[in-house]
Amino acid sequence: MDHNKFKIINLFLCICFWAIQGTSSAVTLSGLPNTVHVPENSPVGVVANFTVTTTGGATVPMGSPMIINSNPLSTAFEIRKISSICEILITGNPILDFETAPNTFNLQIYVEDSKGDTDLQVLTIVITDVDEPPVFLDNLENQAVSVYIAENSPQGIIYTVLAYDPENKSLQYSLQPTSYPFFISAGKGSIISTKVFDYETDPQSYNLLVKVGDGTTPEINGNITVYIVNTNDNAPIFTMKQTTFTIPEEQVPGTIVANVTAQDADDFNYVGKLIFSINPTDYFSIDPVTGIIQVAERIDRDAKPLRDNPLITVEVRVIDSPKGGKSSSMPITFNVTDINDNPPVCDPDTYRPQVEETAVINTRITTITCTDIDVDPKNNQFIFTDLSCNACNQTFALNPAFAGNIVLTGSLDLEQPNNPLEYTLTVVAEDITAPFYKDTAYVYVIVLPVNENPPVFYPAIYNFSVSELNGQGTMIGVVNATDKDIPFTGITYSIVAGGSSLGYSNIFWIDPNTGSIQLMTEPDYETTSKYVLTIKAVDNDPKDPKTATAVVTVNILEANNEKPMCTPNYYTLTIPTDLSPGTNIQRFQLTCTDRESPPTAFRYTINSGNINNHFAFSPTAGSNITRLILAEPFDYSGGLDKQWNYKLVVFITDDNQLSNGIVETGTVTININVVIAGLTTVSTTTPPSITYIHIAKNVYATTAWYVPFVITLGAMLLLGFLGYLLYHLAKFLSTKDLSCCTPKPDKYKEPLIQNTNKAKKEVVMELTKVNTVFDGEAVDPVTGKVYEFNTKSGARRWKDTQILKDPQPIKIESSELVIPVLPSSINEGKGRIGTANGQKTNSNGVKAEQKRAEKKNAFGPDPKSLLQNPAGQSTEGLSPLPTPKKKQEGEPKPILIKGDLSEV
């Protein structure tokens, strides 16, 4: 309502109030204007003053006068009383905004004195509009805004200034400085970039001043800082100029051969921003951070493929980010030079030429052949020198000099007493350049004499003895034969019989030149205690050699030469860290044997690997069986133990002092892996021809009796829970019909229809009528007939009613039963259904209903359709019908028997 109407209503209320009081008011509000105009957004302050006067000694209590029923209701004004003068104040809550708050407030000023007299006046406050400057709607109102632009970003809008004018005036936007590559849409406030920025060349930040004005009020300002964000837009480039390096072969791995340098225009200010790699890595490696190329493995210039081509070319790649960065590649070539690192090699290095004693001077004895595989010709040239021969009296020489030809320069006549039967010569092949590597060839010149007399042994029978402790190379004795031929042509000795044993064809060796008999292996007294050898002496006549034989008896002296043999001799064990001291570690034991020592002669010591003395054997001596025990506990938590894998080398010695106090020692190696308690380690050890499989099992202390108890209890509870679930699952499934197969009828219920194949005999079944209440009905989907059923017990019977339409029902008097025709064989083919009384049913209706049922469910009628009657009642307990088979031509129809069937 308007102001005048409001004043009239107030006046009317006052007149009524005076009339009720029956006397004039003793309290009066004076000086209160009718209307006050207040500019919008005025601060807290006084908008009007008035006074309160009373008569008759009345007073104005606290809280009066007051504003009641302001229109609209607002807390923007309040009354403050100072003595008899009252002030109407703006509270500032809410702020009086012309655009958002009401423009007019009607305040009812009410006063009541101590005698109950009252006065009421209305003050109208009108809010007047004031032209206000624009206001930012975004963060520019309170702070500077940061805008980030990725370098190479396309030109376009980077930021839009949000502002509004309280008076809805059109705003004008401007941007300073105007020289920057940005401008602002004067009418929309969109700041647009005018160039594509490059972090590497352009300034990395810009400070912008945004001004917004409405044309009448002062402009407002906002600060925007634009940062250019660096991106990986530049591939690194190589700064090195040299790409070919010459290095000598055979450099030590780790030798620095080159230093690859590169730089990236994108400076992200972190170390290792460039990552180097090299391919292939056959000969060189590169530091991924510094780019230093080092020799990775031996470089042999003399071997292929470098022998054919000394150049090694690798590709060095630099990338500025491990994942998805930009990269550059550059080939680097290394020229591998040859050095003189190979000596001449004489192959063969031993020569045995045979020369007759009648050979003439300058006869070529042999030619030495040597080679040098160095590639560079200056490194593969050599000469022959230093031909030497003891007691040769200058019988041989190199001809020509520094060549490999050895010629005869003296006489080989054996009639001369100083001429030997064999000459030993050495020739040196030496490089012509530093470091002058050398190789030596050996020449054994054999002089062939003339043979006249056979050799003769003296004596003809020999007896020698040797201990079984003696091994290979032990000399047993010497046999000697002489030849009367002059010159002496030499005799060659050999063993022709009697030395076979221990799987060897001969355990003895005789020096063919001296007749010295030596052992080729240790003899075994327990196997053979005596050998009878036949020694043959042959003179060295190449054309007509002559021979002689001698008998040598070798007696083997018994001694302690058998080492203890233990099983196993190599094993791996795994033990927990909390194993108790004194425990036999995984029941491990050694079983030792020695053919020459009794079981009580063994002693066991751990030679090495027993750090902190954790392990010991029990017993340590006096038995051929001992067990490995934990002697000291492990202390990994305290820092005493730091070793987790122990390799124990165990010595087993015997105390058999059969001969000269010799003690034999056997060795067993045991690897022990210590694991954290509760873990299981399975290790297998496979020594030659023997396979040991060690199965480690968890063990626990006897005090931990609760472990098997908890496991057993948990297993029993789990089995009980599973049995409970299986029971309820079986119970649930027994009440459900499965569509995948035809369920069997209940024990005491017969199916309404049974269809079998190739019936050959008929069986009449009896049904005894019981007084059962059938409270439900349903239609058989196969025959189309109506049957009744009991909803609780599931009992069923055909209903005494006519079948509607197709198929035609047959009315029954008491009960009807389809006589099932039992098949003569379960696996026979298609069956038939016949009638007992020859009555013909409506086969067309049955066939149509069967076809519809077969289309609906190929495995039989839907059991769920039999569980609901026409009235929607439950049919729980009703057995599903058997699966109908597709009717064949010539099949008889079902038989329906009427009447009370009491016998089969």
d(C-alpha 679, C-alpha 215), whole Å:
84
Q: Report pLDDT digits (tens) over 419-460.
A: 888 889 999 988 888 888 888 999 999 888 767 678 999 888
DSSP for 174-216 reads EEE-TTSSEEE-TTT-EEEE-S---TTTS-SEEEEEEEEE-SS
Phi, psi of 706 (to 5 degrees): -70, -20
Amino acid (one-letter) located at 395: T
pLDDT of 568: 86
- Is the predicted pLDDT of residue 689 greater than 70, yes or no? no
Cβ atoms of 291 and 260 within 8 Å: the answer is: yes
pLDDT of 181: 92
d(C-alpha 818, C-alpha 836), whole Å:
10
Domain 135-229 has CATH 1.10.10.10: no
Q: What's the pLDDT band for 793 if we cut at 50, 70, 90?
A: confident
pLDDT of 601: 79
pLDDT of 771: 55
CATH class of 456-557: mainly beta
CATH class of 3-128: mainly beta
Q: What is the number of other CB atoms lying within 10 angstroms of the CB of residue 34?
A: 10
d(C-alpha 110, C-alpha 821), whole Å:
109
d(C-alpha 39, C-alpha 45), whole Å:
12
Task: Give the global pTM.
Answer: 0.37
DSSP 8-state class, residue 734: H
- Is the predicted pLDDT of residue 463 greater than 90, yes or no? yes
d(C-alpha 210, C-alpha 161), whole Å:
8
pLDDT of 334: 94
Q: What's the pLDDT band for 670 if we cut at 50, 70, 90?
A: very high
d(C-alpha 169, C-alpha 135), whole Å:
12
d(C-alpha 300, C-alpha 307), whole Å:
8
- The closest of 102, 86, 84 to 38, measured between CA atoms, is 102
Where in the sequence of the chain do the CATH 2.60.40.60 domains occur?
3-128, 135-229, 237-337, 345-448, 456-557, 565-694
Phi, psi of 16 (to 5 degrees): -65, -40
Average of pLDDT values for 608-636?
A: 89
Q: Report pLDDT digits (tens) over 153-209.
A: 999 999 999 998 887 888 899 998 888 899 999 888 899 999 999 888 889 899 999
Q: How far is CA 275 from CA 290, 314, 333, 339, 859, in A?
A: 8, 16, 20, 34, 71
Q: What's the pLDDT band for 52 if we cut at 50, 70, 90?
A: confident
Q: Report pLDDT digits (tens) over 291-304.
A: 999 999 999 988 88
Nearest-5° Cα angle at 524, 523 to 527: 130
d(C-alpha 667, C-alpha 671), whole Å:
13
d(C-alpha 599, C-alpha 621), whole Å:
10
Please give the residue that has the higher pLDDT: either 102 or 767: 102
**Mean pLDDT rounded to a whole number for the chain:** 77
Secondary structure E strands in 513-630:
516-519, 530-539, 547-557, 565-567, 570-576, 584-593, 602-608, 615-618, 625-630
Amino acid (one-letter) located at 718: L
- Is the predicted pLDDT of residue 90 greater than 60, yes or no? yes
pLDDT of 487: 66
Average of pLDDT values for 340-349?
A: 87
Please give the residue that has the higher pLDDT: either 675 or 702: 675
d(C-alpha 129, C-alpha 42), whole Å:
11
Q: Is 462 exposed, middle or buried (0-12, 13-18, 19+ CB in 10 A)?
A: buried
Q: What's the pLDDT band for 851 if we cut at 50, 70, 90?
A: very low
Tokens linked to 718: 């789990």
Cβ atoms of 787 and 775 within 8 Å: the answer is: no
Which homologous superfamily does the CATH classification assign to the domain defined by 565-694? Cadherins (2.60.40.60)
Q: What's the pLDDT band for 254 if we cut at 50, 70, 90?
A: very high
- Is the predicted pLDDT of residue 20 greater than 60, yes or no? no
**DSSP-assigned beta bridge partners for residue 111:** 119
The CATH number of 237-337 is 2.60.40.60
Q: Report pLDDT digits (tens) over 690-701.
A: 444 444 444 455
pLDDT of 45: 81
Average of pLDDT values for 509-529?
A: 89
Q: What's the pLDDT band for 9 if we cut at 50, 70, 90?
A: low
d(C-alpha 750, C-alpha 747), whole Å:
8
* Percentage of the chain modeled with pLDDT above 70: 76
CATH class of 345-448: mainly beta
d(C-alpha 437, C-alpha 302), whole Å:
16
